[in-house]
Amino acid sequence: MVDISTSLLSVKKEKIIDTVYKLEDANTNYFHIDVMDGEFVENDTHDIMLEYCEYLDNITKIPLDIHLMVKDVKNFVDSYLIFNPNIITFHYEACKNKEEVMNLINYIKEKGRRVGISVKPETDVKEILEFLPDLDLVLVMTVEPGFGGQKFMADCAEKIKVIKQHATQNLFIQVDGGINAETGKTCTKYGANSLVAGSYIYKAENIKEAISSLKH
Ligand code: DX5
Ligand code: ZN
């Protein structure tokens, strides 16, 4: 069974509450919070995502899945802990060395959160295999992190197969970027069990049907 984590990145402020209710009704499994710092990626979404998390905290019990596209990971982890996120994912490329990767994994776990590592398109997935036993999730980026609405990079999805070969049963293999009913199927066929989607859901006439088409 695949779960759907709906990205709130492209939702306008005036529509957020209404959209959250619609997504809840459409059975999204998670809300995917794309945090960008203006350094690791050009865009800066920190303030708006904090605001969205505050709304979510008040109006829904659907778990939060935080995707940190930031350089100073620890600082940002601390800012989002108050919302009790289910998952916090950071980028492998944001770390200076493997020791830092391990320290961050341990830090997030000590805070009682599930932890994920994300890899950008150009990163060789072999680099993170040694961390799999310590992780709850691996996030394979199928677009360059930074903004929504980009085209799915099929080559990157091949990484899912390698992770699947080395993963324990409980590992979440998540894919993010350009996911629609078709590209989502490619990913689940390769072994992904969690799909992040934004544009595909919002462009659809019927949000409920869009989410259900990703689940099947
Ligand atoms: C990109 C973000 C994604 C993105 C997903 O940097 O991590 O979560 O917003 O949006 P779509 O589904 O439009 O690619
Ligand atoms: Zn994301």
**pLDDT > 90 in the chain, percent:** 98
Q: Considering only CA atoms, which residue is closest to atom 9 of ligand 1? A: 148
Tokens 């995707």 correspond to 67
Name the pTM for this structure.
0.98
Q: 5 vs 38, 126, 133, 179, CA distance in Å?
A: 23, 25, 23, 11
Q: What is the pLDDT of residue 146?
A: 97
Per the CB < 8 A criterion, the answer to whether 116 and 172 are in contact is yes
Whether pLDDT at 179 is above 90? yes
Q: 106 vs 174, 186, 211, 215, CA distance in Å?
A: 20, 32, 33, 32
Whether pLDDT at 216 is above 90? no
Residue ranges with CB less than 5 Å from ion ligand 2? 34, 67, 176
Which residues line ligand 1 at a C-beta cut-off of 6 Å?
A: 7, 9, 32, 34, 67, 143, 145-150, 176-179, 196-200
Query: Cα(150) to centroid of ligand 1, in Å?
Result: 8
Average pLDDT, stretch 112-135?
98
Query: Cα(30) to centroid of ligand 2, in Å?
Result: 12
